[in-house]
Amino acid sequence: MSDQSSPKYIFVTGGVTSSLGKGIVAASLGMLLKARGYRVTIQKLDPYINVDPGTLNPYEHGECYVTEDGAETDLDLGHYERFLNSPTSKNNNVTTGKIYQTVIDKERKGDFLGKTVQIIPHITNEIKRRIKILGKKNEFDIIITEIGGTVGDIESLPYIETVRQLRWELGYQNSLVIHLTLVPYLAASGELKTKPSQHSVRQLMENGLQANFLVCRTEHHIPKEVRSKLALFCNLNIDNVIESKDLPTIYEVPLYLHKQNFDSLVLKELGLSSETEPDLKQWNSFLQKYKNPKSKVEIALIGKYVSLQDSYKSIVEALIHAGAYSDIKVNIRWIYSGDLTPENISDYLHGVNGIIIAPGFGDRAIEGKIISCQYARINKIPLLGICLGMQVSVIEFARNVLGYKDADSIEFNSQTTHPVICLMEEQKNITNKGGTMRLGAWSCKLKKDSALEKIYNNQEIKERHRHRYEFNSEYLAEFEKNGLEAIGFNPDTGLVEAIIINEHPFFIGVQYHPEYKSTVASPHPLFSALIKASQNYQINKVKNAKK
C-alpha cells in the first residue's frame, strides 16, 4: 500500500487503571489497517522484571501464550494473532527482565568500554533496539507497539521515555501515540467524569509525550459535549477523541472503532492513504454467525485455574471461533478439578455435551482431572485432552484399564513403578524452570486414515508445544493392545503427539496446544471436530431419551 522505506510506528499507552483493553484496541486497529491492505504487526512491551511470563502463575498474569518460534509471551499476543490472522514471534514481546538481562550481559563483556551504565541512554537504547527489530527486514508498513502497565507506574517510565526519544528521532509524521483512559460514570450524580483522563494525559505530557488520540473506555455513550471537553483539555481535535464502549464481544470492537473513522484518522496522522476501504466481509460474516447460532452445546472446561478465566483465554476463543464457524453457540461450564471426586463427578458433569481437560503444571487438583477422563471414557462423552489433559487421560487408562494402580507421571510421583508419563533424556538434568521446555512449533505426522488425519485433512501438521514431560513409549504396545492408540508422532524424535481411545465416539488427547493457532479467519479444526462431536452426542442423547 505504501512506498515508504521504513515502517510507521503507533504507540499505545494506558492511563487511570490497568486492564482497560489496550491489547484489544491495538489488535482491532491492526486488523482494520491490515484489512485496508497494509502490512501490520503488533508488539507488546511488558514492564515486569520476569524475563518472560513462562514462570508466572496464570493467576498472576493470565495464560502464557506461545509463538511459532517458541517464545513464552504475554496473552495479548494471542489477541494480535487472532485478529490479524498472522503469527507473531519472540521479537513481538519484550519485558524489562529481557532488557536488563541484555544490558547487564553487555556490561559484563565490557561492551560499554568502562562507561557508567544508566537507564538513559543504555536501557532506553536497548528498548529502542528491540522496538525497531521488527522494522529491519522491510516486512511491515505499520508497527503497533503496546506499552504494558499504566502511565505513572515507576516501572513504565523507561518505556515512556524511550517513546519520547523515538518520536523525535523518527519524525512526528512517522509515529503517533494513542492513549487509552477510563471515563467513569458516577451513578449518584448521573455523570461521566473526565477528570481522571485529564490527569492521565497531563502525566503523559509531563513525561514529554503528547497523545494524538484519546480512546475512552466507558460503560455509557459519551456525549459530544463531554468529548469536546476532553479534546479541549487534552490538546486534541474532537474527532480524535474515540469512544470505546463496553460491548457484548471483543470482536465487535474493530467495527465500533471503524464507525468513528478511527483507522482513517490514524492513517491521515501518519501521512498514509485511506482511499482503500477495509475489506470486512469475512469479519462481518463471523460476527453474524456468532450472534445468530442455530443450536448450542455445553462443554465442560476442567482445570485448576478456572477462577481466572484468562488462564485459558486461547481455549475460550478457539471455542468461539469454531462454534461460530459451525453456527453453534458454545456454553462453557467452568469446573475446578480439585472439587471433583468419584462420588460427585456425575453431578458436576450432568448435562454436558463435551469435555476439555485443560493444560497445566504441578500435582494440585490432578486426581479430579483423572476422574473426569474415566467418567468421559465410560459414559462415551466427547473429550479433548490438551497437553497435561492428554497425559492424565493416559494415566487414567493405565490405572483403570491396564490395571497399573500406581501408574502416574513422574512429574507428580517420582517413585511410581509405572511411569507412563516421563521425562525426555535431555530434560533430566535441567534445573532452571524458565524457557527450558519443549516450546514452539514441532512437526507431527498423523497416522494415515486416523481420526486426526480426517479432522486436519492432512497427514503432516505443525503445532505449538509447551511442556516437559512425554508419553513413555515403552508402554505403547500394551496401550494399543487394549484400545488406546497413538495416532500422531514427531517424525524426528518418535515422541507420541496424539492419542485416541478406540470404541469411543470422540476421545482424543494431544500433547500440543491447538488453541494457540485458532483465529477468527481460521478456526482450528480440532475444536470444530469437538463441537460437532458434542452436538452429535447431544442429539443421540435426546433420541435415546425418547425411546
- Whether 357 contacts 373, CB under 8 Å: yes
Q: What's the CA gap between 196 and 201, in Å, rounded?
A: 9
Q: What's the CA gap between 311 and 60, in Å, rounded?
A: 9
How many CB atoms sit inside 10 A of residue 122's CB? 21
Per DSSP, the residues of 375-436 read: HHHHHT--EEEETHHHHHHHHHHHHHTS--TT-EETTT-TT-S-EEEEE-GGGTT----TT-
Q: Is 403 annotated as a binding residue?
A: no
Quick check: is 513 catalytic?
Answer: yes
Q: What is the DSSP letter of 142?
A: E
What is the amino acid identity at position 259? K
Q: Is 252 annotated as a binding residue?
A: no
Q: Is 528 annotated as a binding residue?
A: no
Among residues 387, 396, 504, 524, which one is catalytic?
A: 387
Q: Is 52 annotated as a binding residue?
A: no
Q: Is 4 annotated as a binding residue?
A: no
Q: Is 547 annotated as a binding residue?
A: no
Q: Is 197 annotated as a binding residue?
A: yes
Q: Is 23 annotated as a binding residue?
A: yes
Q: Is 293 annotated as a binding residue?
A: no
Query: Edge-to-edge strands of the sheet including 354-357?
Result: 328-336, 295-303, 354-357, 383-386, 507-510, 496-501, 484-489, 438-446, 460-467
Q: Is 224 annotated as a binding residue?
A: no
Q: Is 209 annotated as a binding residue?
A: no
Q: What's the CA gap between 446 and 453, in Å, rounded?
A: 6
> Which residues are paired to 43 by β-bridges?
145
Among residues 126, 317, 396, 515, which one is catalytic?
A: 515
Q: Is 360 annotated as a binding residue?
A: yes
Quick check: is 497 catalytic?
Answer: no
Q: What's the CA gap between 173 and 134, in Å, rounded?
A: 19
Q: Is 247 annotated as a binding residue?
A: yes
Q: Is 20 annotated as a binding residue?
A: yes
> Which residues are paired to 496 by β-bridges?
489
Q: Is 277 annotated as a binding residue?
A: no
CB-side neighbour CA atoms (13 Å) of 159: 29
Q: Is 153 annotated as a binding residue?
A: yes
Helical residues (DSSP H) of 110-180, grouped into ranges? 124-133, 157-170
Q: Is 193 annotated as a binding residue?
A: yes
Q: Is 329 annotated as a binding residue?
A: no
Quick check: is 387 catalytic?
Answer: yes
Q: Is 246 annotated as a binding residue?
A: yes
* C-alpha 232 chain-centroid distance: 37
Which grid cell sits at 346?
A: 456425575
255 burial level (CB within 10 Å; 0-12, 13-18, 19+): middle
Q: Is 217 annotated as a binding residue?
A: no
471 CB contacts (<8 Å, ≥6 apart)? Answer: 390, 391, 394, 420, 421, 486, 495, 496, 499, 511
Q: Is 368 annotated as a binding residue?
A: no
Q: What's the CA gap between 156 and 15, in Å, rounded?
A: 11
Q: Is 18 annotated as a binding residue?
A: yes
Among residues 465, 467, 504, 513, which one is catalytic?
A: 513
Stated as kind and residue range, the H or E segment containing 186 is strand 185-186
Helical residues (DSSP H) of 154-223, grouped into ranges? 157-170, 195-206
Q: Is 229 annotated as a binding residue?
A: yes
Q: Is 468 annotated as a binding residue?
A: yes
Q: Is 21 annotated as a binding residue?
A: yes
Q: Is 22 annotated as a binding residue?
A: yes
Distances (CA, A) of 227 to 21, 231, 252: 20, 6, 22
Annotated binding site: 18-24, 59, 76, 146, 153-155, 193-198, 229, 245-247, 360, 388-391, 411, 468
Annotated binding site for Mg(2+): 76, 146
What amino acid positions are annotated as catalytic residues? Answer: 387, 513, 515
Annotated binding site for UTP: 18, 193-198, 229
Annotated binding site for CTP: 18, 153-155, 193-198, 229
Annotated binding site for ATP: 19-24, 76, 245-247
Annotated binding site for L-glutamine: 59, 360, 388-391, 411, 468
